[in-house]
Amino acid sequence: MNKKIKGFLVASALAASLSQNAVAQEVDVDPWEGFNRAMFSFNDTLDTYALKPLTQGYKAVMPDAAEKGVSNFFDNLADVGTLINNLLQGKVDNAVHDLARVSFNSTFGLAGFIDVATPMGIEKNNEDFGQTLGYWGVESGPYLVLPFFGPSSVRDGVGKIPDSMVDPVSHLDDTGARNALYLTRVIDSRSRLLETEKLISGDKYTFIRDAYLQKREFDVLDGNLDNYDDSNF
């Protein structure tokens, strides 16, 4: 996670926590808070006693270069979905850049373990189907915490279905290899949050909820804060 996004997460969460109408707003964005808190507690317990220790062990034994290579590999796979969603949003120029990234990183970058595209000036985009729905005007709907998957919304939860269909890992015929890649990707994703989670303050559930919802709005707008509407937060 780059410094720009990390800074936005902190700023957005703090802004939400200081809102004078926080209680009324929470009802609007989180009408299923009871269920969501139960799912959050389940996920947090699973993370505390299983995923986080496993991730910390992974970081302890993996050389930094190898860990970076694994992250690059999964980022390269994610670029496939980003390419498709940029096409669905009509962002042809971005899709061309995504295709160039996948092509260069998959070949010269040794299956994506080395990111050769970024030094070439081909910057990474991040798009998913939830963002595509948002781009075409679909509202996020209520906040929703999914078991195992964590923070989401009705729109983003629906978006996970087509996202999984275009995920290259899901098309592997070897069940063992597919499951191993799924687990490794989860650990890799969790490892990227170990430092960021230190920024969390106050009620952990509320902090993560507000940061998630505002970041997703930020993502849908491609960072164009001139069109940002925080009236629901």
Q: Map the chain to HEC letters.
A: CCHHHHHHHHHHHHHHHCCCCHHHHHHHHCCCHHHHHHHHHHHHHHHHHHHHHHHHHHHHHCCHHHHHHHHHHHHHHHHHHHHHHHHHCCCHHHHHHHHHHHHHHHHCCCCCCCCCCHHHCCCCCCCCHHHHHHHCCCCCCCEEEECCCEEEEHHHHHHHHHHHHCCHHHHCCCHHHHHHHHHHHHHHHHHCCCCHHHHCCCCHHHHHHHHHHHHHHHHHCCCCHHHCCCCCC
Rounded-to-integer distance, Cα 73 and Cα 200, Å:
28
Confidence of residue 228 (pLDDT cuts 50, 70, 90): low
Q: What is the pLDDT of residues 112-161, one digit of tens each?
A: 999 999 999 999 999 999 999 999 999 999 999 999 999 999 999 999 99
Confidence of residue 23 (pLDDT cuts 50, 70, 90): very low
Structure-token pair, residue 52 = 């986080």
Average pLDDT over residues 89-93: 97
Confidence of residue 225 (pLDDT cuts 50, 70, 90): low
CB atoms within 10 A of CB 117: 26
In the chain the first and final C-alpha atoms are separated, in Å, by 23
Total residues belonging to the chain = 233
Average pLDDT over residues 7-16: 46
Q: What is the pLDDT of residues 37-58, one digit of tens each?
A: 999 999 999 999 999 999 999 9
**pLDDT surpassing 60 at residue 76:** yes
Q: What is the pLDDT of residues 156-214, one digit of tens each?
A: 999 999 999 999 999 999 999 999 999 999 999 999 999 999 999 999 999 999 999 99
Average pLDDT over residues 18-27: 47
Per-residue model confidence (pLDDT) at position 75: 98
Per-residue model confidence (pLDDT) at position 16: 46
Rounded-to-integer distance, Cα 58 and Cα 186, Å:
12
Per-residue model confidence (pLDDT) at position 98: 98
Per-residue model confidence (pLDDT) at position 27: 57
Q: Which residues contact 12 (CB under 8 A, 6 or more apart)?
A: 210, 211, 214, 215, 218, 233
Q: What is the mean pLDDT of the chain?
A: 89
Rounded-to-integer distance, Cα 26 and Cα 9, Å:
18
Per-residue model confidence (pLDDT) at position 187: 98
Rounded-to-integer distance, Cα 13 and Cα 226, Å:
19
Per-residue model confidence (pLDDT) at position 24: 45
Per-residue model confidence (pLDDT) at position 229: 56
Radius of gyration of the chain (CA): 18
CB atoms within 10 A of CB 127: 26
